[in-house]
Amino acid sequence: MQVNSSTRIIGRNIYPTENPEPHGYGIYITIPPKIKEESEVLVRSIPGGLYAVVKCEGLEEMSFKWPDLWKWVENSEHQYIGETKGEYGYELGFEEYLNWYSALVEKNTINMIFDLMLQLREK
């Protein structure tokens, strides 16, 4: 598979129990439609629908951007769909790594930019 600047990389925290620690991290990478699932690589889909999204510049910002996003959802006309129980544990929102190509390929890791996303439904 050819990876280039149009490839999207999205991650999410995965919690094996209802407690926040320990946790793992799942990675989603966009692939062409003809790629087949193999034993070591699973083909998954990110659910469509309505999402609350906030931009985050740098890993340091995540510690307050996630709480800001949760607060916005609480005060909105929407509600979080709820955590899902996946194969490896409880899953919450998504983090799309917007400038991964320049950060990793061009060795520019100073200004990593993410979109933080929570799936919503109307109240």
Residues 5-29 have pLDDT tens digits of 888 999 998 887 776 676 788 888 8
pLDDT at 45 > cutoff 70: yes
pLDDT at 57 > cutoff 80: yes
| pTM for this predicted structure | 0.83
Q: What does R_g of the chain's alpha carbons equal in angstroms?
A: 15
Residue 1 domain-assigned (yes or no): no
How many domains, the chain?
Answer: 1
Residue with the bigger pLDDT between 59 and 21: it is 59
Residue 86 domain-assigned (yes or no): yes
Encode pLDDT of 73-84 as tens digits.
999 999 999 888
Residue 2 domain-assigned (yes or no): no
Residue 98 domain-assigned (yes or no): yes
- Its domain, for residue 39, covers 9-122
Alpha-carbon span 54 to 68, nearest angstrom: 9
Nearest one of 74, 93, 92, 96 to 83, comparing CA atoms: 92
Pull the structure tokens for residue 63.
């510690």
